[in-house]
């Protein structure tokens, strides 16, 4: 029996923890995943079922759930997290383009939580994108005070090129606040997008 404690973890961490536990298996095994919300239950269930595993759910108490996975030996889990609601970037020779410090439309605070979770999810991919481009409001994410700096520095250390539009930094008065990656220009942005095998724009 393997237990994954994801209590208190925000999306997409429960899925990522479960995926890592599945990938580590060398023989069929039962995995119990503990989470504190129904969205995590749904995401973990969907990901695990996509590997061919049998999955059951149980509510243990107020804000306490258990997902039981009768797992295979790591088969099919390398891309299984793509089935989770919060996964936002496919694998491959990909350029990620981020144009806002918020993801989606609606509540701005929720949007900031979502874009932070999206960037963290990128750090957990088996195959990282080639390049990440930040422009307009997205330029704020690469500057001092951003909640995503640690994740972006992690990506940069693994070879992901992080670039931010210089015109945007100037507009927001943040050129001296850039904390990760390098400054780029619109020609480089257009050229990178034109030559990309795939472009992903989560916001």
Give this prediction's pTM.
Answer: 0.69
Pair 202, 98: CB distance under 8 Å: yes
> What share of the chain in percent tops pLDDT 70?
90
Identify the pLDDT of residue 12: 84
Closest CA to 201 of 131, 153, 142: 131
Identify the pLDDT of residue 89: 44
Distances (CA, A) of 162 to 140, 155, 169, 191: 13, 8, 14, 15
Please report the DSSP string for 12-70 in residue order: THHHHHHHHHHHT-SS-EEEEEEESSHHHHHHHHHHHHTTT-EEEEEEEETTEEEEEEE
Identify the pLDDT of residue 81: 47
What is the rounded distance in angstroms from the CA atom of residue 175 to the CA atom of residue 170?
6
Of 8-17, 49-58, 75-84, 115-124, least confident by mean pLDDT is 75-84
Identify the pLDDT of residue 158: 93
Beta-carbon count within 10 A of 50 CB: 16
pLDDT category at 73 given cuts 50, 70, 90 is low
Q: What is the DSSP letter of 175?
A: G
Please report the DSSP string for 88-113 in residue order: ---SSSEEEEE--SS-SSS-HHHHHH
Identify the pLDDT of residue 72: 77
Q: Is the pLDDT of residue 157 over 60?
A: yes
Pair 179, 142: CB distance under 8 Å: yes
Beta-carbon count within 10 A of 34 CB: 18
Q: For the segment 12-70, what is each residue's pLDDT rounded down to a tens digit?
A: 889 999 999 999 998 999 999 999 999 899 889 988 998 889 999 999 999 999 999 99
Identify the pLDDT of residue 58: 95
Pair 165, 134: CB distance under 8 Å: yes
Identify the pLDDT of residue 82: 46
- Residues catalogued as catalytic: 11
Identify the pLDDT of residue 191: 86
**How many CA atoms, within 13 angstroms, populate the side-chain half-sphere of residue 38?**
2
> What share of the chain in percent tops pLDDT 90?
69
pLDDT category at 145 given cuts 50, 70, 90 is very high
Pair 59, 84: CB distance under 8 Å: no
């Amino acid at each position: 029996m393997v237990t994954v404690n994801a209590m208190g973890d925000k999306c997409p961490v429960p899925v990522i923890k479960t995926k890592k536990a599945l990938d580590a298996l060398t023989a069929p095994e039962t995995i119990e995943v503990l989470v504190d919300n129904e969205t995590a239950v749904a995401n973990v269930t969907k990901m695990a079922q996509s590997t061919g595993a049998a999955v059951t759910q149980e509510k243990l108490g107020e804000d306490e759930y258990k997902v039981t996975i009768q797992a295979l030996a790591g088969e099919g889990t390398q891309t299984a997290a793509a089935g989770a609601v919060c996964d936002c970037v496919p694998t491959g020779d990909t350029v990620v383009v981020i144009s806002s410090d918020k993801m989606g439309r609606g509540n701005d605070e929720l949007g900031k939580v979502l874009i932070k979770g999206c960037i963290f999810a990128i750090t957990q991919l088996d195959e990282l994108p080639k390049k990440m481009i930040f422009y307009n409001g997205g330029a704020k994410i690469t500057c001092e005070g951003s909640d995503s700096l640690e994740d972006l520095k992690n990506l940069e250390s693994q070879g992901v090129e992080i670039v931010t539009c210089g015109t945007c930094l100037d507009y927001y008065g943040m050129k001296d606040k850039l904390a990760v990656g390098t400054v780029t220009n619109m020609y480089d942005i257009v050229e990178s997008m034109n030559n990309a095998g795939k472009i992903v724009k989560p916001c």
